[in-house]
Amino acid sequence: MSSTHDLKTTWQDRLAAQWTTVKPLAIMLVIGLIAGPLISNYVGWQVTRGSADRQSNASAVDQQAMICSAQAKLENGDPGALDWSARRELAEKHAVMPGRTTADSGVVNACINKLMAT
């Protein structure tokens, strides 16, 4: 009976010794799994949905403003010489993209800026 008791103690002692070796690694793993995403998001290594939407929208507006300014330059050879209201009307006319009935205000403003730069 004492030999069974000794084997159980030995098995428990070995498991306890292994756990004391593995425990710091397990704690570090848990801390890394929790802190890793928080730190990488704070540093900016993750792309959140909001930032992706903003980047996508800014890119679309820029592309549409380039189309608008190219069309406006074809209609008026020197749109930079126009006064502000005439340049705005020209931009509003050409900022309406196919399939839409009205122009996006962001596209109009970006188109005006591009026309002023010429």
Secondary structure, 3-state, the chain: CHHHHHHHHHHHHHHHHHHHHHHHHHHHHHHHHHHHHHHHHHHCCCCCHHHHHHHHHHHHHHHHHHHHHHHHHHHCCCHHHCCHHHHHHHHHHHCCCCCCCCCCHHHHHHHHHHHHHC
Question: What pLDDT does 44 receive?
Answer: 83
Question: What pLDDT does 6 receive?
Answer: 56
Query: Residue 67 above 60 pLDDT?
Result: yes
Q: How confident is the model at residue 63 (pLDDT cuts 50, 70, 90)?
A: very high
pLDDT in tens, 27-62: 999 999 999 999 998 888 888 888 889 999 999 999
pLDDT in tens, 70-108: 999 998 888 878 888 999 999 999 999 889 899 999 999
Question: What pLDDT does 89 receive?
Answer: 92
* Gap between the Cα atoms of 4 and 20, Å rounded: 24
Tell me the whole-structure pTM to 2 decimals: 0.62
Question: What pLDDT does 25 receive?
Answer: 95
Question: What pLDDT does 96 receive?
Answer: 92
Which position has the token pair 């209609």? 75
